Structure formats: C-alpha cells, structure tokens
Amino acid sequence: MSKIKVADFYYGAVLSMLLSNGVKPVLIESDTNRQVYDITTNNEDCRLFMKYRADKQNIKTQDYNSWFFSFTDRDKEEIKRYIEEGYNLVIALICGVADLAESEVAVLDKDQIQELIRLDKDSITISRKKNEKAYRIPLDGGRENAMQVKVNRFEELF
C-alpha cells in the first residue's frame, strides 16, 4: 500500500501552483525536510529550494500567524553552494495551517537569502498579521527590526 506523506501535500500544492501557471519544474534534490527544483519562466531561470511547516506556532491572537523554520548544516551548505555556483536561488517557505486551503507560501529572493546567511541563522521565524502586505522575519529583535517579504512574490515570480 502506498501512503501519502504529509510533505507531499505541501510540496504538491506548490507544484500545482507552478504547473497552473505554465511552469514546468525539474526535481533536483528531495527528502522529507526540503525539495529543490530548477525552474524556467518567461522572465528568468531559478533554483527553487522549498521547506514547509505543517502548522503555525501556537499564538494567542487570531490576527497573527507565525511559523518556525530550521535549517540544518546540510541545508545551509547547499544554499551557499547554489549561490556560489551562480544560481538565481529562491526559497519558498510553505506556511501550513490546519485548514490546508488557508496555507501560504512566502518566497525569499537571493538578496534576502544572502542576508540570512550573513547573519548565520540556523532558524528563522516568519510571521504575518492579518491583512498585512508582507511577512516579517526578525533579524535582531522584534518585528520592528525585521526583513519584509512581500506576500504576493510567488505570483510575481511565477
């Protein structure tokens, strides 16, 4: 009997979004913690590194969602290598919630990735208040000193 893994729901959702936009991704690397694809669009080629969280962190307010992503040494080495090799790297953070249809995808561009590498982060927390136009990743402290990631970047890129 073939069982569907939780990761398949999240990675599959992003793949479906890509295919619906006429983008045909090619799988490069895969395990349960991340997947990597090469993508060709009308605008440019890129390497897409995906990670997911199945559920948001338990926050007391309904107007605020937050997800915690960890990056293994292998993840960090791989990300650095892709940048050094000249790939136009983007990272898709799939932010899951209990109602799968309400899950979101935050996309980090190469400059944002390099900033996180420079800070030598092993993990990040990404959050968004209801109706905010950007996710936030705290760099050194709270939401006031945070990297902003546009909510609609997925649609812009793909």
The predicted pLDDT at position 121 comes to: 83
Q: How far apart are CA 52 and CA 94, in angstroms?
A: 4
Predicted local confidence at residue 54, as pLDDT: 86
Over the stretch 42-63, which tens digit does the pLDDT of each residue have? 778 899 999 999 877 766 666 7
CA distance 74 to 14: 23
More confident residue, 71 or 59: 71
Query: How confident is the model at residue 80, as a pLDDT?
Result: 95
Mean pLDDT across the stretch 118-131? 88
143 Cβ contact list (under 8 Å, min separation 6): 127, 136
Q: Which residues pair with 68 in a beta bridge?
A: 125
pLDDT value at residue 60: 64
Q: What residue ranges do the domains of the chain occupy?
A: 6-157
pTM of the model: 0.90
- pLDDT digit string, tens, across residues 80-114: 999 999 999 999 999 988 888 888 999 999 999 99
Question: For domain 6-157, which architecture applies?
Answer: 3-Layer(aba) Sandwich (3.40)
